[in-house]
Structure 1
Amino acid sequence: MSIAPNQCTVFVQVWVDVNALAQGSTRGCYAVSNRSQQSSGEGSANLHTNVITSSNVCWTVLPIDPQYTGDFSITNVGAESGWEQPPAPVAGMPNVFTGKLTQSTVGGSVNSNIQFSFDGDNQITVTLPVTITPVTQ
């Protein structure tokens, strides 16, 4: 069972320019975190953020275009290691994943790459690099 988004303290959002994506460009994908003071690459397609160990993390993919009525579906987030509860989909919300961070078993950063698909005229799958580093404070 996944963690409810309202139980998360860290939020990673990917804002997507649907028009750019439909034309095959991921340059319109912008990853941000509510821990912007502890992040680098904020607002780019390559986010690195420091997250306190044992935090619940929520990933969401959202369109920039308010008239877009299609769907985004997160298909995968990161690797299995580094998670007390690995990232998993939230029931009834295909564009949301949640997980609980633990100290990395490799002693460093945790691969949190987000892979999502876009339901346009043809299915497009995008993988954005996101890295989380567990910290104690």
Structure 2
Amino acid sequence: MSIQPNQCTVFVQVWADVNSMKQGSTSGCYAVCNKSQDSTGEGTANLKTNVISGSNVCWTVVPIDPQFNGDFTITAVGAKSGWATPPAPVPGLSNTFTGKLETGTVGGTVDSNIQFSYNGGSESITVTLPVVITPVEA
């Protein structure tokens, strides 16, 4: 059973500049987290954030282009270890993954790199952005 986005307390969004990606550049991809007071690299392609163990986390990819009519699909989020419920796609939402963080299985940080694909018709680009989550106790 997948975790629904409305059950999450931590949201990681990737804002993707479609025009930059069309030119073959990933420099227009920016990761942000609603826990910005506990994050570094906010608004860059290298987000690191502290998340309370046991939290449900939601990842989404959002285009920075109001006229965008292509498709973003998250293909993977991080490693399988460090999660009570590993990151997985939300049925019906190709640009959304959710998972439940668990500190008991890892020491230190959890690889939460987000890999997504842009499909704009004849063009298809896959990007991996580094995202690191450090589990902390409440």
> What's the TM-score once normalised by structure 1's chain length?
0.98
The one-letter code of the counterpart of 1:131 is V
2:12 equivalent in structure 1: 12
Is residue 74 of structure 2 the alignment partner of residue 88 of structure 1?
A: no
CA separation in 2, counterparts of 1:98 and 1:51?
14
Question: Structure 1 residues 104 and 130, CA, compared in 2 at 3 Å: closer, same or farther?
Answer: farther
After superposition, what is the alpha-carbon deviation per residue over 1:21-60, rounded to whole angstroms, capped at 9, x for unaligned? 1111110000000000000000000100000000000000
The one-letter code of the counterpart of 1:83 is W
Q: CA deviation at 1:122?
A: 1.5
1:21 equivalent in structure 2: 21
Is residue 44 of structure 2 the alignment partner of residue 44 of structure 1?
A: yes
Aligned CA-pair RMSD: 0.8
Q: Percent identity?
A: 72
Q: Which runs of 5+ in 1 are unaligned?
A: none
1:57 equivalent in structure 2: 57
The DSSP-based 3-state class of the residue aligned with 2:11 is: strand
Q: Which runs of 4+ in 1 moved over 4 A?
A: none
The alignment of Structure 1 onto Structure 2 pairs a total of residues equal to 137
CA separation in 1, counterparts of 2:115 and 2:60?
11
The DSSP-based 3-state class of the residue aligned with 1:45 is: coil
The one-letter code of the counterpart of 1:15 is W
The DSSP-based 3-state class of the residue aligned with 1:21 is: helix
After superposition, what is the alpha-carbon deviation per residue over 1:99-134, rounded to whole angstroms, capped at 9, x for unaligned? 000005331000000000000231100000000000
The one-letter code of the counterpart of 1:129 is P
1:112 equivalent in structure 2: 112
